[in-house]
């Protein structure tokens, strides 16, 4: 049954080469923890991706309840956490996952750095990776405001003060991210929400695609 | 790829009508114990992922994600704290030559140099050697940076008052506070509300006075002799007034 459907689609769209191209590649011995246990360090990158997928899925479920508004943001988070079935688990996954992404990404960066895996011909992929690192930090920063509790508001005020102290363009940058020259409020939370949920993930997907295409194209770096 | 004459297509599309057969590559000629990603290695990755997910779910079950009370911009005593992975930057901005008039150094120049060097590492560390021991400068600077970040994070954690932080953000039950009551007026006159809040909701330095579990005698004792950060003798009214205040505090219960 499944085969027939597959063949029917494949005859029309020739989909086999698309997924075979992703599926058919070799995994060298030196990255395979089944052969060398110390190769578990090569898992960090994949686990970063895994946690990122968890973040995307749990984030999608959070937006089913979350309201980006100074009155209802906190109320909606409180309701989700205390009255919705498994709401605490979904929010917990997104909250702790945010820290875990940073941890796994940090370990992955150190693995690549200490193995000198960023050297020619992989310089570009390192640059893209550093870009992903910054996008992740920005996601953590913007997501911290969204529950609109005390620590969210006051940490964001500090962030905005730092942004404001940028030489020459500080005032403009502040207005751009806070939505107002002096108020941290309704405009700020909608902006941070839009940045956290639409702008940064869009950039992140582009960078991750580039990261993976480059790995696939060049292959993983050889043994030391 | 087949080119030229004799090509057959599916309908008027560009899809070739000739079916190619895909036979998985044979990796036996590759060096060492190379194996196929699909499906051999993917299955192992899947198992690692499953174990990781179980651990992660245990974490989310064991630790409730924190939520403080709703943001109150009027609370000027609140001590802010960023998420743990920004603590090192936060701490850096507390040092004399990285803050105030030198803010540009702490907020832009030092982080810019560190992260700039990280981004440009492949163009700075250009030699062919990959082993850490053969790249003393790259390895040394990275260890130095790691030590710096660890030290700053440590300092930040050590200098933060975690008990006050837990207290200042607590979700407080709402209570109907009668601001016309005599007890309320007395508390206002004796500056009790400066720390305990206009709605008795508490603040960074003082607990909420809603649902106080002490007996009237114990409340009296605290007002006389102080407790924790609160010194005794702030209340300067008469004994009858004190009784009214104690009675008032005792009457405040959450909805």
With an 8 Å Cβ cutoff, are A118 and B121 in contact? Answer: yes
Q: Do B69 and A78 touch (CB under 8 A)?
A: no
Q: What is the pLDDT of residue B91?
A: 95
Tell me the chain A residues in contact with residue B30 when contact means C-beta distances shorter than 8 Å.
Answer: 26, 28
Q: What is the pLDDT of residue B179?
A: 84
Q: Does pLDDT of B1 surpass 60?
A: no
Higher pLDDT, B19 or B119: B119
Closest CA to B201 of B166, B234, B177, B224: B177
Does residue A101 have a pLDDT over 70? yes
Nearest CA distance, B169 vs chain A (angstrom): 6
Contact in structure between A130 and B118 (CB atoms under 8 Å): yes
B138·A113 Cβ contact <8 A: yes
Cα B122 to Cα B73: distance, rounded to the nearest angstrom: 45
Asked whether the beta carbons of residue B131 and residue A16 sit closer than 8 angstroms, the reply is no
% residues pLDDT > 70 (chain B): 98
Q: Nearest CA of chain A to the CA of B245: how many Å? A: 30
| 8 Å CB contact of A14 and B104 | no
Output the average pLDDT for chain A. Answer: 95
* Alpha-carbon gap: A153 to the closest alpha carbon of chain B (Å): 6
Which of A74, A88, A140 is the closest to B85 by Cβ?
A140
**DSSP string covering B192-252, please?**
HHHHH-TTS---SSS---SS--S-HHHHHHHHHHEETTEES----S-HHHHHHHHHHHHH-
The size of the A-B interface in CB pairs under 8 A is 210
Among candidates B37, B83, B132 on the partner chain, residue whose Cβ is nearest the Cβ of A25:
B37
DSSP state of B190: T
The C-alpha of A5 sits at a distance from chain B's nearest C-alpha, in angstroms, of: 16
The pLDDT score that the predictor gives to residue B171 is 84
Kindly report the nearest CA distance between residue A18 and chain B, in angstroms: 12
Task: Give chain A as a DSSP string.
Answer: -HHHHHHHHHHHH--HHHHHHHH--EE-GGG-TTT-GGGGGGHHHHHHHHHHHHHHHHHHHHTTT---STTHHHHHHHHHHHHSTTHHHHHHHHHHHHHHHHHHHHHHHHHHHHTTTTSTT-HHHHHHHHHHHHHHHHHHHHHHHTT-BHHHHHHHHHHHHHHHTSTTTHHHHHHHHHSSSS--SHHHHHHHHHIIIIIHHHHHHHHHHHHHHHHHHH------
DSSP bridge partners of B254: B175
- Residues A176-224 have pLDDT tens digits of 999 999 999 999 999 999 999 999 999 999 999 999 999 999 999 999 8
pLDDT tens digit string along B194-244?
888 888 887 767 888 888 888 888 888 888 888 888 888 888 888 888 888
Higher confidence at residue A193 or residue B9?
A: A193
- Cα separation, A126 vs A56, in Å, equals 23
- d(C-alpha B48, C-alpha A100), whole Å: 16
| CB atoms A141 and B24 under 8 Å | no
So what's the pLDDT on residue B22?
Answer: 77
Query: pLDDT tens across A7-41, in order?
Result: 999 999 999 988 988 888 889 999 999 999 999 99
A67 or B21: which carries more pLDDT confidence? Answer: A67
Asked if residue B2 has pLDDT above 70, the reply is no
Q: Which residue of chain A has the CA closest to B87?
A: A155
pLDDT at position B164 is 85
Chain B: nearest CA to A84, how far in angstroms?
Answer: 14
Residues of A whose CB is below 8 A from B61: 89, 92
Pick the residue of A3, A21, A27, A136 with the most B CBs within 10 A to test the interface with B by mutation.
Answer: A27
Chain B residues whose beta carbon lies within 8 Å of the beta carbon of residue A92: 59-61, 63-65
Mutation test of the interface with chain A: which of B55, B104, B122, choosing the one with the most A Cβ atoms within 10 A?
B122
Asked if the ipTM is above 0.90, the reply is yes
Instruction: Check: CB of residue B63 under 8 Å from CB of residue A96.
Output: yes
**Chain B residue closest to A8 (CA)?**
B10
Which site among B25, B26, B41, B65 would you substitute to test the A interface, given the most A Cβ atoms closer than 10 Å to its Cβ? B65
List of chain B residues whose C-beta atoms are within 8 Å of the C-beta of residue A159: 82
What's the predicted TM-score (pTM) here?
A: 0.86
Q: B194 or A114: which carries more pLDDT confidence?
A: A114
Cβ within 8 Å, pair A165-B90 = no
């Amino acid at each position: 049954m499944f085969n027939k459907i597959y063949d029917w689609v494949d005859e029309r769209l020739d989909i086999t080469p698309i997924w075979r191209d992703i599926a058919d590649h070799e995994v060298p011995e030196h990255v395979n923890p089944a052969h060398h246990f110390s190769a578990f360090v090569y898992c960090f990158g994949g686990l970063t991706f895994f946690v990122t997928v968890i973040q995307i899925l749990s984030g999608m479920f959070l937006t089913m309840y979350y309201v980006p508004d100074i009155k209802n943001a906190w109320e909606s988070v409180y309701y989700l956490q205390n009255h919705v079935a498994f709401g605490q688990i979904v929010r917990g996954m997104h909250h702790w996952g945010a820290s875990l992404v940073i941890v796994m990404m940090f370990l992955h960066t150190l693995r690549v750095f200490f193995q000198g895996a960023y050297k020619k011909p992989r310089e570009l992929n390192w640059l893209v990776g550093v870009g992903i690192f910054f996008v992740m930090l920005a996601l953590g920063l913007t997501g911290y405001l969204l529950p609109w509790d005390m620590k969210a508001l006051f940490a964001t005020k500090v962030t905005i003060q730092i942004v404001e102290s940028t030489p020459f363009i500080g005032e403009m940058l502040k207005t751009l991210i806070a939505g107002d020259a002096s108020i941290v409020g309704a405009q700020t939370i909608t902006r941070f929400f839009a940045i956290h949920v639409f702008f940064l993930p869009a950039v992140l997907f582009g960078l991750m695609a580039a990261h993976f295409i480059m790995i696939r194209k060049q292959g993983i770096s050889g043994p030391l | 790829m087949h080119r030229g004459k004799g090509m057959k297509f599916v309908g008027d599309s560009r899809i070739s009508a000739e079916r190619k057969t895909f036979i998985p590559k044979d990796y036996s000629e590759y060096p060492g114990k190379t194996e196929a990603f699909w499906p051999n290695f993917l299955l192992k990755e899947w198992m690692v992922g499953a174990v990781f997910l179980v651990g992660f779910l245990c974490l989310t079950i064991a630790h409730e994600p924190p939520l403080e009370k709703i943001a109150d911009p009027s609370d000027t005593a609140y001590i802010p704290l960023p998420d743990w992975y920004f603590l090192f930057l936060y701490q850096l901005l507390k040092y004399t030559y990285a803050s105030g008039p030198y803010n540009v150094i702490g907020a832009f120049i030092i982080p810019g140099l560190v992260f700039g060097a990280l981004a440009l590492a492949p163009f700075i560390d250009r030699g062919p050697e990959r082993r850490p021991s053969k790249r003393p400068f790259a390895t040394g600077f990275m260890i130095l940076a790691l030590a710096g970040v660890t030290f700053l994070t440590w300092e930040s954690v050590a200098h933060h008052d975690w008990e006050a932080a837990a207290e200042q953000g607590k979700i407080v039950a709402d209570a109907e506070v009668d601001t016309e009551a005599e007890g309320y007026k007395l508390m206002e006159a004796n500056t009790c509300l400066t720390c305990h809040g206009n709605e008795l909701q508490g603040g960074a330095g003082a607990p909420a006075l809603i649902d106080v579990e002490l007996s009237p005698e114990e409340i009296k004792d605290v007002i006389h002799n102080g407790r924790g950060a609160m010194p005794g003798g702030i209340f300067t009214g008469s004994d009858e007034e004190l009784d009214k205040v104690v009675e008032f505090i005792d009457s405040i219960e959450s909805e």
